[in-house]
Amino acid sequence: MAHSRNGSGLLSVDAALDRILASLSTTTTTRVLLADALGQILAEDIHATLTLPPQDLSAMDGYAVRADDVAQCPVNLTRVGEAAAGHPWTGHVELGQAVRIFTGAYVPNGADTIIIQENVDAPSEADQSVITVREGAAKGRYIRPAGLDIAAGTRALAKGSLLSARSIGLAIAAGATSAVVSKPPRIGILSTGDELVPPGQTPGPGQIISSNAAFLSAFVKSCGAEAVDLGIAIDKPGAVSNAVMAATNLDMVVTTGGASVGSHDHIVDDLADGALDFWKIAMRPGKPLIWGKIGKTPLLGLPGNPVSTAVCALVFLAPAISKLGGGTYQQQLYLATITSDLPENDQRQDYMRASLESGDDGLTMVRPAHRQDSSMMATLAHANAFIVRPPFDPPLTTGDTVTILPMPRLF
């Protein structure tokens, strides 16, 4: 058994995550249509091939004029044409002239200012009619200059960006139709434990239904990766490594259970030859964590308790999937005020299940679940945030400010 232990001390969450991410490399790349790319990660920059807007545009409905003409108001101008989005007016606006213009239309040559229609009296929409500008505007007002959004040849989206709906919109507008993305990582999911039976079977005495794999499969999908079910490994030496070696083309394997020092847990023994770390993480829930390789496949061993599995998946697996896909992952933390007292914290970073509430005057309130036992899945399913308490956090009183990690919608 050649696995290393990190002394008797506990490893911090950040240090464990750094070590995991440092040893992962990115999947290969593929070109996909942007229409099919939601949630994927760019493996190459996308450069704009178009300038947006392509020319100076009107930002409002009104009249395109020359600023010199409207320096003193009211003033009468002659309407000489009309410009709408997609229907440019191709003449030249002279002194004393105005062109009726609509939002998104090119600003005609000669004009340099837009007067909004609310500030104009116009007897008709006919050309050669005389309009009265009641209130002028500074030169350039309500004009969107060419290239305001993006210029052709510049970078629209950087390698490593997540393709969200809004970034897909930008890329399409800038002239792209496809993108080179990292292939979604293939994540093998393996449960361990003699007590587990698959969903749909009736558990016998001492047995429970294997639910961690169902959670992990859904969570992996919500992170943009592909979940590969490797089934349930029994508590026998070799069962884990055999299951992993039998699978192909996995970018990573996640196991649950089998990570404690109990003599019925064999994953640690399975992963010999120095390719394994067995960590005690300074976090609650989720102290034991395995990190190593079987063959060339990275293996992340999560604890077997459902809440521990879930918290460790959010804290370690989601960033690992981002890294495999060539992206970055930043957990955004917020502050909220707690609705009850909390005792002093020990040496482990605590992830407490909690519910966000809106308090008076916009304050974000957070209510910790009454009981935090790591076997209680219902408490997890009904919570929507974690209170994250650092090691040795002093006792807290109702109304104190705490750090919260909102649960992602599909977590």
* Window 293 to 312, contacts with a second copy (CB under 8 A): 304-306, 310
Q: Which of 364, 362, 310, 300 has its CA nearest to residue 333? A: 364
Residue 1 touching a second copy (CB under 8 A): no
Rule CB under 8 A: choose which of 70, 77, 107, 162 binds a second copy: 162
The whole-angstrom separation of Cα 410 and Cα 186 is: 19
* Ranges within 241-270 binding a second copy (CB under 8 A): 260-264
Residues 32-51 within binding reach of a second copy (CB under 8 A): 34-35, 38-39, 50
* Assigned token pair, 353: 């299940």
Tell me how long the chain is: 411
Residue with tokens 């083309």: 249
Binding-site member from 343, 362, 370, 397 for a second copy (CB under 8 A): 362
Asked if residue 375 binds a second copy (CB under 8 A), the reply is yes
Near a second copy in 312-351, by CB under 8 A: 332-336
Rounded Cα distance, 330 and 27, in Å: 20
For the chain, the straight-line distance linking the first and the last C-alpha, in angstroms and rounded, comes to 35
Say if residues 190 and 231 touch (Cβ distance below 8 Å).
yes
- Options 150, 228, 299, 321; binder of a second copy; rule CB under 8 A: 150
Q: Is 149 in the site for a second copy (CB under 8 A)?
A: yes
CA 63 to chain centre: 43
Decide whether 296 or 370 has the Cβ nearer to a second copy. Answer: 370
Per rule CB under 8 A, is residue 160 in the interface with a second copy? no
Pick from 103, 119, 339, 372 the residue near a second copy by CB under 8 A: 103
Give the whole-angstrom CA distance, residue 374 versus residue 393.
20
Say how far apart CA 338 and CA 327 lie, in whole Å.
Answer: 34
Asked if 93 is part of the footprint of a second copy (rule: CB under 8 A), the reply reads no
Please say which residue, 96 or 160, places its beta carbon nearer to a second copy: 160
Q: Which of residues 166-225 bind a second copy (CB under 8 A)?
A: 166-170, 172-173, 175, 177, 193-196, 199-200, 203, 205-212, 214-219, 221-222
- For a second copy, which is the closer residue by CB, 39 or 96? 39
User: Is the Cα dihedral 344, 348, 353, 356 positive or negative?
Assistant: positive
Taking the CA atoms of residue 377, residue 381, residue 384 and residue 387 in that order, the dihedral angle to the nearest 10 degrees is: 0
Nearer to a second copy, 67 or 377 (CB): 377
If one asks whether residue 21 binds a second copy (CB under 8 A), the answer comes out as no
Residue number with CB closer to a second copy (23 or 178): 178
Is-contact 240 255, C-beta < 8 A? yes
